[in-house]
Amino acid sequence: MATKHSNRPAARSCEQRGRIHHPKQTGRPPRFCSDRCQSRAGHLRQADVRRRKAEAERRICRQCQQPFTRPGSRSLFCPVCRPKANVQSLCVQCGAPCKEFRKTCGSPECRAAWMRTVLTGKKYRQAKAYQCICSQCGQLFACSRKNVVSCRGCARRVYRRGRGKYRERCRLAGVPYLAGITPLKVFCRDGYRCQLCGRKTPERLRGSYKPNAPELDHIVPINAVGGSPGHVWTNVQCACRECNIKKAAHPMGQLRLA
């Protein structure tokens, strides 16, 4: 005949106070009799970890033979004896005196030489150099990657040229150019909406490759065959990236009123 409490968990002893308690839930039995005992055990465990860490960091001073503790330091002398000991190390490259436990004197040349000596061939390997030909100046240059089309100087000049591309294009085409016209002003004027298809072009997508990213578009291209009004307020509009690619160098849209 089954008893009334046949499924009740067996009695256990609390790991903190040693008191016998009867767990109420089934499954994995609890280790403590109450939340207070569990919290107390956690505090004691943390105190024990701190005590062990302090004992591990405790050292004996080589000068006065007294114990001292300096967390995170590898010093062999206590703070009182350290200025008197005048402990110095020598740079492994030039032999100049440096701070305790330092390998180099701190100069960029010695540090770079030591890094090449220690780390080359172990964790970091020297980058392989490839011979490339610049497509701009035709000079031979070394690079750590393959298929690089321009050297550093030519790439910098091309980047600077792209920042003032509207002014340079207008100068070459002989059309007017207004310096006060910026993409942000045009986008705000048009309400961040494409003037070709009418979709919204959020500001956060500017500079991305999304189809609805806002871009500055000239209604009549600057290099148009029959002439162009140039970079003026009546010839600029906000367009999404998809419409700007489809439009390409063809006149599309209506000129705005001055």
pLDDT tens digits, one per residue of 129-179: 788 888 878 888 888 777 777 888 887 776 665 556 788 888 888 899 888
The gap from C-alpha 73 to its chain's centroid, in whole angstroms, comes to 29
Q: What is the mean pLDDT of the chain?
A: 78
Half-sphere exposure of 96 (CA within 13 A, CB side): 9
- The residues spanned by each domain of the chain are 89-119, 130-160, 165-247
Half-sphere exposure of 59 (CA within 13 A, CB side): 16
Quickly name the fold that domain 165-247 has: His-Me finger endonuclease fold (3.40.1800)
Rg of the chain over all Cα atoms, to the nearest angstrom: 37
- pLDDT tier at 189 (50, 70, 90 boundaries)? very high
Q: What is the pLDDT of residues 42-79, one digit of tens each?
A: 888 888 888 887 776 777 777 787 887 766 566 677 77
Pairing of strands 67-69, 58-60: antiparallel
